[in-house]
């Protein structure tokens, strides 16, 4: 078990497989974030105001509080789970010690700005549209950095798995197949 507690989980083949598949799906999630955002608006604050407050030119009504609440109800837990997963794994990534808490806080704050920016535009002041832009860009950059750190973690784990001594089971620090710990092999036990 000490092997796993010291980050050895990244050398376990099934853990690497699970993380690699997760990385693939989250990369697609990241790409679809761009597609969905830019299908509705751009990084120009005026396009954000038109999306949330409506546009007479485009015959677009303002977003209703009910539709925004429904969207937030789905986005907030999804963002929380995705960011929890990625930031948790980043703790084990080979990043500078100070970079980790900064990346974690920036990721979550960007998520709040991204989701809250629309609410601010719609119900407080259209001049707050840059908050949405900052939130979106910050969240997407944070997710990209978190995904990249996961990729590095996987690459290092694959390399560590190749360097792991033969006969050592990745799940425990006992020789493969014996099932007996060194302490249990001592005489008198």
Q: Is residue 64 part of a domain?
A: yes
Q: Is residue 189 part of a domain?
A: no
Q: Is residue 184 part of a domain?
A: no
Q: Is residue 183 part of a domain?
A: no
- The secondary structure of the chain in percent helix, strand, coil, rounded to multiples of 5, reads 75, 0, 25
Q: Is residue 131 part of a domain?
A: yes
Q: Is residue 182 part of a domain?
A: no
| In the chain, % of residues over pLDDT 70 | 77
Query: Could you tell me the residue range of the domain that residue 172 belongs to?
Result: 2-176
Q: Is residue 185 part of a domain?
A: no
Among 7-16, 63-72, 78-87, 175-184, name the one with the lowest average pLDDT.
Answer: 175-184
Tokens of 13: 């083949």
80: left (phi over 0), alpha (psi -120 to 50) or beta: alpha
Confidence band, pLDDT 50/70/90 cuts, at residue 117: very high
pTM of the model: 0.76
Q: Is residue 181 part of a domain?
A: no
Domain count within the chain: 1
């Amino acid at each position: 078990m000490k092997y796993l507690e010291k980050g050895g989980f990244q050398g376990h083949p099934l853990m690497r497989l699970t993380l690699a598949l997760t990385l693939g799906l989250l990369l697609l999630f990241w790409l679809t974030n761009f597609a969905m955002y830019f299908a509705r608006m751009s990084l120009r604050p005026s396009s954000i105001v038109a999306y949330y407050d409506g546009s007479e030119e485009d015959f677009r009504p303002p977003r209703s509080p009910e539709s925004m609440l429904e969207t937030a109800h789905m986005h907030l837990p999804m963002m929380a789970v995705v960011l929890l997963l990625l930031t948790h794994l980043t703790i084990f990534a080979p990043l500078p010690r100070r970079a980790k808490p900064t990346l974690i806080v920036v990721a979550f704050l960007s998520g709040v700005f991204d989701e809250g920016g629309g609410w601010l535009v719609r119900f407080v002041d259209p001049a707050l549209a840059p908050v949405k832009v900052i939130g979106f860009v910050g969240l997407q950059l944070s997710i990209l950095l978190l995904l990249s750190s996961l990729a590095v973690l996987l690459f290092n784990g694959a390399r560590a798995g190749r360097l792991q001594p033969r006969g050592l089971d990745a799940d425990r620090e006992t020789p493969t197949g014996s099932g007996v710990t060194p302490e249990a092999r001592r005489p008198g036990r």
